[in-house]
Amino acid sequence: MEVVSASHGALGPLLGKLTSLLADECVRLKGVRREIRSLRSELISMHAAVQKYAMLQHPDVQVKAWISLVRELAYDTEDVVDKFVHHLGNTSHHDGFKEFFRKTARRLKTLGSRYGIANQIDDLKARVKEVKELKSSYKLDDMAGSTFDHSIVDPRLSALFVEEEHLVGIDGPRDDLVNWMVEERESSTKNLKVLSIVGLGGLGKTTLAKEVYRKIQGNFHCQAFVSISQKPNVKKIMKDVVSQLPCKKEFTEDIDFWDEKKFIAKLRELLQNKRYLIVIDDIWSISAWGTIKYAFPENNLSSRIIATTRIVDVARSCCPHGDIDRIYEMEGLNDLHSKRLFFKRTFGSEDQCPDVLKQVSNKILKKCGGLPLAIISISSWLANRPKVKDEWERISRSIASALDKNPSLEGMNSILSLTYNDLPTNLKTCLLYLSIFPEDYLIDRESLVRRWIAEGFISEERGQSKQEVAENHFYELINRSMIEPVEIVYDGKSRFCQVHDMMLEFIISKSVEDNFIASVGHGQTDLANRHGLIRRLSVHYIDQELASVLANEDLSHVRSLTVTASACIKHLPSLAEFEALRVLDFQGCRSMQEYDMNGIDKLFQLKYLSLRGTDMLKLPSGIVRLHGLETLDLTNTYIRELPPKIGQLIKLRHLLIARYRNMYSHEHSRFQAITKIPDGIGNMRNLQVISGFNVTESSLGAVEELGNLTALQELNFELDGRGSQEYKRYEEMLLSSLCKLGGCKLQSLWIRAANSTPLAFLDSWSPLPSSLQKYRMTTRYHFPNMPKWITPKLTSLAYLDINLVEITEEDLRILGEMGALLSLMLTFYCVKKDRLIIRSHAFLSLKEFCLMIGFSYATRETYLKFEEGAMPKLEKLDVPFFVSVAKAYGFTLGINHLPCLKHAEVSLDNIDATSSESKAAAAAIRNEAKANSNHPRVFIYREMEEEG
């Protein structure tokens, strides 16, 4: 199956495995194939039923109970299938076809007696029959076809009728948007303008839209405000708009019989000669807006539309005119406004909060994360609770469960449920998985998508790899405002994400309901109320008492184990008890030496192992028997060598050993030890990412084998040529390997070299990978000339970090013509002339530009200037400014010519400059920033002190 089912990561992967198993030669024996085909048919039928029931907005309790039975059945079936395949093993085909079948048959006959698999299959068949009969006895299909009257009040209604004096923190955004909405243009450009307000449900989009609407409606001939649903009825929406517009009675004659086409025509007729203001609240899809928008004519009368949505792509579709329209991203209330709203609703004012409740109140308020609806809902609930500290502490720990049970929180739960229920089932699974991580955890994007893949949540689709599909899921969750991006870099990608505290509480409640993840530690221990075995375990903290609780649990079905940095790992049960693990993550645990890892070779299903940031000194030898391992993350550990037979892990895709120590240090302690490239690495043909190996400490044979890795996409290595008589041979071998990779998939190359280890050999790199997107160097070495391979023909190169002894005008011309270049970091000693001019129509795509002075006292001072038309898309700038040279040119830098600039850092070099000249230079740069229509934030540093 292409997607994970609504039973959250259970049925989808299982059906895929059964399909693959049926295609395998080793199950073509009589009886085995029949059993698997029968099991698969029954599960496909159940999968279809689960998907149908998942469409229900409010499933009946019996529907939920049946889905739970199917989910646990699917998990247990997959565990048995995995054991079956593992114990069957890989029989060699070299003995001939008949011999292969003879050996396979002998193995199959003994599997039942040796491992009890035959009995387990019989038990599964009985459970399948039982679950199938329960579906009929519950009459679930009749329930799915009926409708239920769930009289839940639309939580948006309160936003429409709240009194102005009760609003908090809305004045600034409202006034800003009001000014933009009523801003008059020249008569020839009085276009229709669209304001799109986007953000997470509960942030107050409807309230803000209503306040802007209320302030400016007097400036228009007519106005209308309509809220729409997830599945909008276009005719009803347009009828609501018509009902709010002034028109003669005969105009709406037979309105109940109008079709969509007539509604659009009549609305356009009604609005054609009027300056109108329309609010379309809560648009859920691009297609819905695509139909509605045609009813609103562009009549050159300065009409306005306000659209609100939770989805970024929808917001963009509402604003097709770019600079004419505006997208406003909602933010949560700041701490001051959050406290004001919370304490006013809970106690009347902050002054009336008892001292004993202040700390716990702040803890509860933090969970609200500036979300107005959450603050209002929870404060209204607390206002009627006893003012007792222990009671409030309990509430703080149990908000997740209260969301689904307490009437006071129904509005908050409804808003979050609307957004969650709108997700496709595969995205629901990926979102629920984030409940593994504790509050405020910075979730690494690359690690997360690798974990999703290892868990079996991701399938290849429409010609896209699993990696690409998983990345798409990550950004779709951002697009739908379900997760918050952190550290957005030059290419628009986010390095990390975080989950809003209230969203985390919501998905924790869903996760508990679906037995998706069990968490222990820091008040989250709730293993007793689980419906089924532990499938995924997140340990935030563990002591002897919690260890005793876990000791009484069956851990043999746990698929992922995540232990965070604060856990005391020595109390964790032995790895041998977690035999079904796919994912094992110890990231950040600093006491790994206290834990016995020797049972790791029993984890035959393990695909993802992370020891990132731990104090590990040596890997257990048994790791070489993890033949299914796809990711091994040893970043920032103290591991010096990998086990000799690590090359046996031929399914490994990501091998990460990087340590981000000071590359210029002369100290080499064990804490700075760098791992050698393992011999035999050439056998690991599935490797896509290699990070952190030291080339010059490895064998020449291992360096040569790098050229065999044709699937390699990212290569990050270190060089140290100090005192090495063989360095020239390493250069030659490394260059040979890089040239072999020229026709392959290499996208990123990062070279870190100690001190001034020469890299001149790279000038002969050819052919270059056509897919190269990123080149980075961290070293004191500077190329004497621009390498020959850096040309405009590198049509994919988006990121370039390079050191040059000297920058010439020709260098800038070449770089300026590279159409894909988004981020450029240039480090230099000097320039050919005293002036460094960024010419007009150069660097047309560049978003980030950093110019740095190299490690030399011989740096020649130069005058830097941006001409008008240069770097038209630049957003981030970091440059030096030589005051003594620039004074002859009036201290002109030219940042006023950078129309998209958002952030600039300018370091004033005051050598041979007076204090007054330095102040004049700073003032001139600030004036240029003020003249920039994009109003960039500019920071000026002078003698290491921040200005401005």
| Peptide bond between residue 767 and the one before it cis (omega within 30 degrees of 0) | yes
| Percent of all residues in the chain with a pLDDT value above 90, rounded to a whole number | 42
Q: How confident is the model at residue 150 (pLDDT cuts 50, 70, 90)?
A: very low
Q: Is the pLDDT of residue 665 over 80?
A: no
Q: Is residue 942 a contact partner of residue 910, using CB atoms and an 8 Å limit?
A: yes
**Looking at the predicted structure, is the pLDDT value of residue 6 above 70?**
no
The letter for the amino acid at 417 is S
Element (H, E) at 729: helix 727-740
What pLDDT is stored for residue 528 in this prediction?
61
Q: Would you place residue 185 in the very low, low, confident or very high pLDDT band (cuts 50, 70, 90)? A: very low
Is the Cβ–Cβ distance between 822 and 800 less than 8 Å?
no
Stretch among 838-842, 923-927, 942-946 having the lowest mean pLDDT: 942-946
Which of 664-678, 851-865, 932-946 has the weakest average pLDDT?
664-678
Closest CA to 192 of 247, 251, 252, 268: 268
Higher-confidence residue: 665 or 221?
Answer: 221
- What is the pLDDT, as a whole number, of residue 777? 93
Residue 251: per-residue pLDDT: 87
pLDDT at 783 over 90: yes
SS (H, E, C) 281-300: EEECCHHHHHHHHHHCCCCC
Task: Using pLDDT thresholds of 50, 70 and 90, give the confidence band for residue 459.
Answer: confident
**Structure confidence by residue, pLDDT tens digits, 790-808:** 999 889 999 999 999 988 8
CA atoms within 13 Å, Cβ hemisphere of 95? 10
Q: What integer pLDDT is reported at residue 148 of this predicted model?
A: 42
For 572-631, the pLDDT digits (tens) are 899 999 999 999 999 988 888 888 898 899 999 999 999 999 988 889 989 999 999 999
**Residue 552 CA from chain centroid, whole number:** 36
* Residue 142 scores a pLDDT above 80: no
CB neighbour class for 98 (10 Å; exposed up to 12, middle 13-18, buried from 19): exposed
Confidence of residue 682 (pLDDT cuts 50, 70, 90): very high
Which range has the top average pLDDT, 100-109, 418-427, 526-535? Answer: 418-427
Is 896 or 90 the better-scoring residue by pLDDT? 896
Give the tens place of pLDDT for each residue, 833-848: 678 889 998 999 999 9
Residue 614 has, within 13 A of its CA and on its CB side, a CA count of: 25
Helix, strand, or coil (residue 621) = helix
Single out the residue of 513, 483, 478, 498 nearest to residue 400, CA to CA. Answer: 513
Q: Using one digit for the tens of pLDDT, what is the confidence trace for 106-121?
A: 555 555 544 566 677 7
pLDDT tens column, 542-585: 888 888 888 888 999 999 999 987 667 888 899 999 999 999 99
Distances (CA, A) of 351 to 343, 346, 358: 8, 11, 10
Residue pair 819/795 in contact (Cβ under 8 Å)? The answer is yes
**Quick one: pLDDT band at residue 823, thresholds 50, 70, 90?**
very high
Task: Choose among 509, 508, 506, 511: nearest CA to 202.
Answer: 506
Model confidence at 348: pLDDT above 90: no
For residue range 44-79, list pLDDT tens digits in order: 888 888 877 766 766 778 888 888 888 888 888 888
For the record, the structure tokens of 448 come out as: 């997360």
pLDDT of res. 1: 29
Give the pLDDT mean for 502-523: 85
| pLDDT attached to residue 804 | 92
Sequence-ordered strand ranges (E) for 779-862: 799-807, 823-831, 835-838, 848-853
**223-243 pLDDT tens trace:** 999 988 878 888 999 999 999
From the centroid of its chain, how far is CA 284? 21
For residues 835 and 811, the answer to whether their CB atoms sit within 8 Å is no
Stretch among 83-92, 418-427, 495-504 having the lowest mean pLDDT? 83-92
For every residue of 127-185, DSSP letters joined together read: HHHHHHHHHHHHTHHHHHHS-----PPPTHHHHHH--GGG--S-HHHHHHHHHHHH---
- Residue 657, SS3? coil
Mean pLDDT of the chain: 84
The structure's pTM equals 0.86
Residue 662, judged by CB atoms within 10 A of its CB (0-12, 13-18, 19+), counts as exposed
Over residues 476-487, mean pLDDT: 92
Tell me the pLDDT tens digit for each residue of 698-753.
Answer: 999 999 999 999 999 999 999 988 656 788 899 999 999 999 998 789 999 999 98
